[in-house]
A and B are shown apart, each in its own frame.
Chain A
Amino acid sequence: MRTTIRLRPAVVTANLAVGLLAPVAGVAAVAARDPRLAMLAGAWLLGWVQLVGL
C-alpha cells in the first residue's frame, strides 16, 4: 500500500526553481557565446536529474 507523502509547497517550488536555474543559465550562456559556462550548466543539470538514483 502506498503512503501519502506531505511535501512542503514552498520547498518544492524552491527545488524546482533551483533545477530550472541550470537550463536558463545554460541557454543564456550559449546566447552570450560563453560555451564553458553553458557546459557547466549542462553538467549541473545532468547531476541534478540523477536524484532519481538517490
Chain B
Amino acid sequence: MAGVVAYSLAGALASSVVGAALGASGGLVLPADAGPLVVSAAALVGMTTVAWDLGWIRWRLLEPRRQTRDIWNGRYGWLLGATLWGFDLGLVVTTRFTFAGAWVLVSSAFLVGDALLGSALFLSYWLGRAASVWIAPLLLDGADQTPALLDEINDRQRSFRSINLLGVGLLTISLLLFAKL
C-alpha cells in the first residue's frame, strides 16, 4: 500500500510540474489574441492523432524510446523503486506512449497558455492513469494472476483504442470550445 501511495504521489508531483511548465511556456510564446492559432493547432493535432491511432498514418509514432527501469526495485528497494517509477511515468514525456493521444494532452497543456490549467490537465491525466494501479489488485484473486490480466488487456487493444479516441475527441473539442471563449 505504501508503494502505491508513493507511486501515485510522485507521479502527481511530476505531472503537475510538467503540465505547469507546458502551460507557462504556452503563455509566454503564444500571442494574446492566439484564439485562431490555438483552434487551428488543436484541430490539426487532434486529426493527426486520430489518423495515427487508426493506422492511417504509416510512419512510426513520434515518442520517447524508453520505458521505466524495472531494475529500480532491486537496486533501491520497493518503496523508492515505486516512487521513481511513479515519478518517471508521471513525467509522461520520458517514456513510450501507449497511444498517440498523449500528444493531444501535451499540445493541449501548451495551447491553453496557463500554468494552472496545464498543471490540472496533466494531474487529471495522471489520476486516471494511476487509478488502474489502485483498482487492478482488487480485480484479481491473487498477485500471481497479474501476467494473465495483462494478456487479457492486450487482447482487448481495439476496445482501449476506441476509448482512447473518445478521450482524444473530448479533449480536442473542449479545447476548441475553450479557445473560442
Name A residues whose Cβ lies closer than 8 Å to a Cβ of B.
Answer: 2-8, 11-12, 14-15, 18-19, 22-23, 26-27, 29-30, 33, 35-36, 38-54
- Interface: B70 (CB within 8 A): no
B146-160 contact mask (Cβ, 8 Å, vs A): 1 or 0: 011111111001001
Contact of A6 with B135 in the complex, beta carbons under 8 Å:
no
Instruction: Decide if the interface of chain A is mainly helix, strand, loop or mixed.
Output: helix
Q: Which 6 A-B pairs have the closest CB atoms?
A: A47-B128, A42-B171, A38-B174, A42-B170, A51-B132, A45-B167
**Residues in B neighbouring A39, C-beta threshold 8 A:** 108, 112, 117, 121, 171, 174-175, 178
Query: Do residues B148 and A49 form an inter-chain contact, with CB atoms below 8 A?
Result: no
Residues of B within 8 A of A23 (CB): 166-167, 170
Task: Report which B residues bind A (CB closer than 8 A).
Answer: 96, 98-99, 101-102, 104-105, 108, 112, 117, 120-122, 124-133, 135-136, 138-141, 145, 147-154, 157, 160, 163-164, 166-175, 177-178, 181
- B177 and A38 form a contact (CB under 8 A): yes
A27 to B155, CA, bound (A): 28
A47-B160 contact in complex given A7-B139, A11-B138, C-beta closer than 8 Å: no
Q: Do residues A48 and B166 form an inter-chain contact, with CB atoms below 8 A?
A: no
A17 to B150, CA, bound (A): 20
Contact of A29 among B125, B164, B174 (CB under 8 A): B174
> Quick one: which of B140, B153, B175 contacts A54, CB cutoff 8 A?
B153
